[in-house]
Structure 1
Amino acid sequence: MKMPQRTLPMLKCEHNFARHNFARHNFASHIVAKYAVAIGVAMLAVASVATPHTTSAADALDLLGGFDRDRIAKTYPPSDSAAVGELAKLVFRLQKVDPKVLASRVRKDPTESNAAELVAAELGDAVSINGVVRSIQVIDVPGDLVEFLEFKRMRSLQIESPKQTVQVVTANVADNIAVGDQARGTGVIVQANGQVAAAAGRLSWVPSTTPSAGWMLLAKAGVDISSIVEVASRDRKPLLAADADAFYATLAAAASISGQRDLPASRNVTAVKMLTDAKTMAGHWIRFEAETVLVTRIAITDPDRQTELGMDRYFQIDAVVDLGNAVIQIEGSSDENDARFENRYPVSIVATELPAFLNEAIWKQTGVDAIVAKISRNVAIEGFFFRLWSYQTDYMNQFGGEDQFGPLVVAANITDRTPTSADPIGVSMIGWIAAVVVLAGMLATWLWHRSTTAGDREVAKKRKQASVDVDF
């Protein structure tokens, strides 16, 4: 399969454009210098409505760009094409609103309120949604709006909480959501009399039954499984702002279960399995062995992300995994110009904390405050498969500039697998030399930060990493 060259001069966020910052950093001469990408994920609120209005504690009208209560009243029920069109436009507007800002306007939570209290709410008030899906209906969007709105249909879900049932219309919820699953989010009330109804920009999804132990662990930790499903749809693409929520939520989930003894058995996977079945593995709980090459401490500058993780940094470990007898081949710009990978293939591992043995190795080599350290250790990784991500390397430039791609895994547990016996024949040295030969480019490291910062100075010190070949 050919992978088109991707250039990243600008990154389009949902509400803003964020510029990629690139820098180079030179390391040992036998390893090629590597790019490090800092991705800004500023989320800006939608412009306020120009017309002034009287606000209530739950009023979200100023976030809805052109919708007042009279216009909202025309969106529900969606009994004709005009009402459906207006409802679709409202859902589109809500997709552009920062979820945290909308949640701050919530008046009543259906899980805590009774029907009488909700009836007293006004059209356009923000409402929290959290309950079990009891029915699902599809609403087709008028054809003349599809190109503008970029969605063809909406779904109307009846969501039941212990004290109230709310009808919620959204265009952004997992395709495989089913009756009996849980849905949650924040919307605005579009019908307050009788059956309470709301419109929502998106709903998170917690399935009642999960196809993998990983999804079960993530859902238990509060991760929106629909965001994990979306991650799989970006297979072999560069890391984007759209990955941020799922990435940090998975990091936080992995940190919360690290060291627990009652975890479900993880699934042993090979490098070839991760490369060939990546689209079906997002969020899966896996285990594999690797050899570390480079460890980088990455600063988190966004205060919200710092709060989410409870820290201001995480670590990326660039490593190589054994290919066995497999040969990986990535097609170049011509049939005679394919990149081949034998013996080993690069994998990127991220974690909120490093185990003691890696910290000790870093301290001995570069000191306590090291940002980047070349560390060669055999490790066993237990964690969540995120997705295949692509990046540019000097090695792949030899084959027409196609992107390198490799697995990205969020680790919960990292175990030392380095032999404790002496190594009289220098097996570990041979392994290190082989890794250096196989690694030809560098995996990009990525970081989200506030748009008000000039970028992450620590990450700007750039890193390098390895790149290996495979047959695709």
Structure 2
Amino acid sequence: KLASQVTDAKQLLVNVAPSEYDSFVDGDPLPPDHGTLAKILYRLPRFLPSEIKRLARTDVDWNELQANPGEHRVEVVRLEGMVQSVEVFEMPREMAELFEFDKQYLVTMLLPESPGPVIVHALKVPDAWLAAAGELNQHAVAEALFLQVGRDGEGPAFHFAANRIAWLPEQASDAMKIGPTEVLLAEHGVDVGLMETVRERNRKPLDGADYESFYQMLAAARSIATGASDVAAQPMPLVQVLEHPQQFQGQWMSVHGRARRITKIVVESADIRERFKIDHYWQIDSLAPVGKTVIQFKTPKPGEEAPTYADAFPMTLCVLELPPELEAARLKAEQSGPDATLNEPIQFEGFFYKLWVYRSRYTTQFDERLMQPSPMFVAFSPAIASPAESNPWIGLAAGGGFLIVLSIVWIAVWRMGRRDDAMEKRMTERRQPNDGGSLNDLDLDVKSGPDFSHLDK
């Protein structure tokens, strides 16, 4: 059904017969291996998040829910409260094979307005919750389907089903590995649990695993730039970001560079347009100054030539708006022909998203499987840098700096290139052309840019 035609979750649960909802018996315990529950959990990942968000009720009368649960079966409710604990349930082998998930997480939440604990049967929770000892007491949000009223000692317990629970921590915690970066992200609507996956995906191309976190962070950058909050940005330490990207992901940074090409990426996903109010963004292919440093990759075999960067290093910036000066420069370059490039000094404050990789003519001169790593940032809008602010570019002569050999980057990317050749080819074939090229000037011949249109089909 079209999203506009869906009025309740039962219309989306096409694998559940109406009579099967009667298997939820209010007042009884709800076992995790309940057959209808498993059917619902199997179906939930196939719901569009925008559908769930649109159907979710925020004005729940908990006394009514307790008194007449049958009238509210599988209604979507927005749950916001404090997660107390997580119990892992291993699905029986036959059910795991049938419903395509082998674990279920029973998440106990306390909501201020609920007369009893809320038990969310979820498919995904943050790994940090599973590793923590003792009571979690973590702020979280979920759009979940109401199942039944069970029992918790002498009082009621409300059971729900959800695909995942969003983690929005409100304060730093050493035990939970939550610092100011994670608190800032959560404050602006980013599910911090998604960052666990992003940190595992450095030195890889973009694909569906990056989809949700990318747009959440892009929307968060807009929230910071257009809101009243005053967030202190840290200067971007390029070498450290290249060597240890996971230590900096999600940080709000101040960055200088030169814009070389700008591509408009149209967001085809109705789900993203509805939830984040984003119908396009701009990919700015840029160069970051390396200062008095020469960056060189260590080769797998001693004595081989390696990619070397003496003046600047490629970086990628994704923004929602262009300042008038940059838009004018983009149009001028566009009118000059497909090979025309920019050379505009820019500065911006934004989130460091990940160290991604793409196919490059420069790196493939050394090994056809070697891909170009590039720090990716998301921001609301860049600014044209003044001459004084673009001083990092003065005096950057090749060979005049301190040589830094990045062994981690070369080896990790080279090995990844061998594993992911087939996937990269599939992604390339599925990509649709956008309004312009993508990172394919300056000998950076990209075949997979930060464009998720191939995932929207």
Q: What TM-score do the two structures reach when normalised by structure 1?
A: 0.69
Aligned-pair distance for 1:191? 1.9
How far apart in 2 are the matches of 1:466 and 1:181?
47
Partners of 1:133 and 1:160 within 8 A in 2: yes
Offset at residue 154 of structure 1 (A): 2.8
Per-residue deviation, 1:243: 1.9
Tell me the residue number matched to 1:414.
Answer: 382
Q: Is 1:345 aligned with 2:302?
A: no
Amino acid at match of 1:359: E
Displacement of 1:126 after TM fit? Answer: 2.6
Of residues 174, 177, 199, the one that matches 1:232 is 199
1:318 corresponds to which residue? Answer: 285
What is the aligned-residue identity percentage?
A: 22
Correspondence for 1:65? 15
1:169 to 97, 118, 121: 121
1:136 corresponds to which of 51, 61, 85: 85
Structure 2 match to 1:248: 215
Which of 1 and 2 has higher RCO (CA within 8 Å, sep 6+)?
A: 1
Which of 184, 187, 206 is the matching residue for 1:217?
184
Output the amino acid matched with 2:111: S
Shift of 1:97: 2.6
Q: Distance in 2 between matches of 1:380 and 1:86?
A: 54
Tell me how far apart the structure 2 counterparts of residues 305 and 182 of structure 1 sit (CA, whole Å): 24
Cα distance change, pair 101–260 in 1 and its aligned pair in 2 (3 A): closer
Q: Can you list the C-alpha shifts for 1:10-64, whole angstroms capped at 9, x where unaligned?
A: xxxxxxxxxxxxxxxxxxxxxxxxxxxxxxxxxx99xxxxxxxxxx964526515
Residue aligning to 2:64? 116
1:155 to 92, 98, 105: 105
- Whose helix fraction is larger, Structure 1's or Structure 2's? 2
2:251 maps to 1:288: no
Counterpart contact for 1:132–1:182, Cα < 8 Å: yes
Cα distance in 2 between the residues matched to 1:361 and 1:58: 49
User: What residue in structure 1 maps to residue 423 of structure 2?
Assistant: none
Give how far 1:168 is off: 0.7
Q: 2:166 aligns with which of 192, 204, 222?
A: 204
Structure 2 segments unaligned to the other structure (5+ residues): 130-134, 151-155, 173-177, 399-429, 445-457
Q: Does 1:402 align with 2:376?
A: no
Q: CA RMSD in A?
A: 3.9
- The structure-2 alpha-carbon separation of the partners of 1:149 and 1:272, relative to structure 1 and needing over 3 Å to count, comes to farther
Partners of 1:218 and 1:422 lie apart in 2 by 29
Task: Identify if the C-alpha distance between structure 1 residues 58 and 216 changes in structure 2 by more than 3 Å, giving closer, same or farther.
Answer: same
1:100 aligns with 2:58: no
CA distance in 1, matches of 2:333, 2:122: 53
Give the CA deviation at 1:428. 8.9
CA contact (8 A) 1:136 1:158 kept: yes
**Residues 139 and 259 (structure 1 numbering): CA distance in 2 closer, same or farther, change over 3 Å?**
closer
DSSP 3-state at the match of 1:196: strand
Alpha-carbon distance in structure 2 between the residues aligned to 1:422 and 1:199: 52
Q: Does 2:328 correspond to 1:376?
A: no
Q: Compute the displacement of 1:307 (Å).
A: 4.2
Query: What number of residue pairs does the alignment pair up?
Result: 386
AA at the equivalent of 2:142: G
Partner of 1:358: 326
How many Å separate the matches in 1 of 2:263 and 2:88?
48
